[in-house]
């Protein structure tokens, strides 16, 4: 399984990976000796905003991304692990070229974060989200990404769909390339679908709807206005003729 990280995380990870590389020694095994998918013991050696680094006895420490720390959504890494903790992790990726090992502490059969049974039922969405001001941005975290958009968690157990058309002011060809799991974002709640019990979100700036041209409504009730008369004047004359008749 390929670990999905944002560009900022990838840059930080590259720098940190260099720092975490360890000189080969008697107690350190080369990455080639580890098996993809195997469970190994390790010790948490550092915590970053995007996950935890774990020493599994390899020449480089492995990363447990925040999205892979638990079966449920993790808002604060410190509530799950701390430096010095002994943990059991599964190896999900070994990349010898980039000197990186990706790890997971989630159950093998766990549902995608943001789509599992641990989420609150749809009927439990608080009123503050149902009646949210669609002009106001709130914090959110990308829980999962699909072809048609991203599911974003805005509170514990509460998430909504940000359709691909609402991800940016510019056209987005692929939601997977635009946002990544675990990425922090700012969203607006633009709709609460009562029948489907679903929140619709947007990452686009709020804009006021254009003023409605009421003369368009009038035109359907009158003939084409002759030169020198407006549609409103024609409608008024037509109404007056009916009153005097």
The 3-class SS string of 74-129 reads CCCHHHCCCCCCEEEEEEEEEECCCCEEEEECCCCCCCCCCCCCCCCCHHHCCHHH
CATH number at residue 29: 2.40.50.140
* Count of the separate structural domains present in the chain: 2
| 218 located within any domain | no
As given in the structure block, the two tokens for residue 203 are 């990452």
Element of type H or E holding 146 = strand 137-146
Q: Are 28 and 88 in contact (CB under 8 A)?
A: no
Residue 172 and residue 91 share a domain:
no
Residue 98 and residue 12 share a domain:
yes
| 148 located within any domain | yes
Record the pTM. Answer: 0.41
Residue 151 and residue 76 share a domain:
no
| 128 located within any domain | yes
How far is the C-alpha of 165 from the C-alpha of 33, rounded, in Å?
45
Residue 92 and residue 39 share a domain:
yes
Q: What range defines the domain where residue 168 resides?
A: 122-202
Q: How far is CA 2 from the centre of its chain?
A: 17
CA distances from 103 to 112, 141, 242 (A): 16, 20, 80
| 221 located within any domain | no
Of the candidates 88, 90, 104, which has an alpha carbon nearest to the alpha carbon of residue 43? 88
- Per-residue pLDDT tens listing for the chain (245 residues): 445 555 555 555 554 444 444 444 457 889 889 998 899 999 999 998 788 999 999 999 999 988 889 888 887 888 899 999 999 999 988 888 888 899 999 887 766 655 443 444 444 788 888 888 989 999 999 888 888 888 898 887 788 999 999 999 998 888 888 998 888 999 999 999 888 788 999 999 988 766 666 666 655 555 555 556 666 676 777 777 766 65
Q: Of 104, 132, 148, at which residue does a domain stop?
A: 104
Residue 127 and residue 98 share a domain:
no
Residue 19 and residue 45 share a domain:
yes
Of the candidates 191, 207, 204, which has an alpha carbon nearest to the alpha carbon of residue 133? 191
Residue 15 and residue 100 share a domain:
yes
């Amino acid at each position: 399984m390929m670990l999905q990280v944002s560009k900022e995380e990838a840059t930080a990870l590259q720098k940190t990976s260099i720092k975490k590389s360890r000189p080969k020694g008697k107690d350190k095994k080369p990455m080639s000796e580890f098996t993809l998918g195997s469970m190994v013991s390790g010790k948490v050696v550092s915590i970053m905003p995007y996950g935890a680094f774990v020493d599994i006895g390899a020449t480089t420490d492995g990363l447990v991304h925040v999205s892979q720390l638990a079966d449920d959504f993790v808002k604060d890494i410190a509530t799950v692990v701390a430096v010095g903790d002994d943990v059991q992790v599964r190896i999900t990726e070994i990349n010898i070229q980039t000197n990186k090992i990706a790890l997971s502490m989630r159950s093998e059969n766990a549902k995608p974060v943001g789509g599992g049974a641990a989420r609150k039922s749809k009927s439990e969405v608080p009123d503050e989200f149902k009646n949210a001001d669609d002009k106001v941005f709130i914090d959110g975290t990308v829980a999962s990404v699909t072809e048609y958009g991203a599911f974003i968690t805005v509170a514990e157990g509460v998430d909504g769909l940000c359709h691909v058309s609402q991800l940016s002011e510019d056209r987005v060809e692929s939601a997977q390339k635009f946002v990544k799991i675990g990425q922090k974002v700012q969203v607006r709640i633009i709709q609460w679908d009562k029948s489907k019990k679903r929140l619709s979100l947007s990452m686009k700036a709020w804009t006021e709807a254009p003023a409605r041209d009421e003369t368009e409504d009038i035109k359907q009730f009158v003939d084409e206005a002759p030169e020198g008369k407006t549609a409103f004047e024609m409608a008024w004359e037509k109404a007056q003729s009916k009153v005097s008749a």
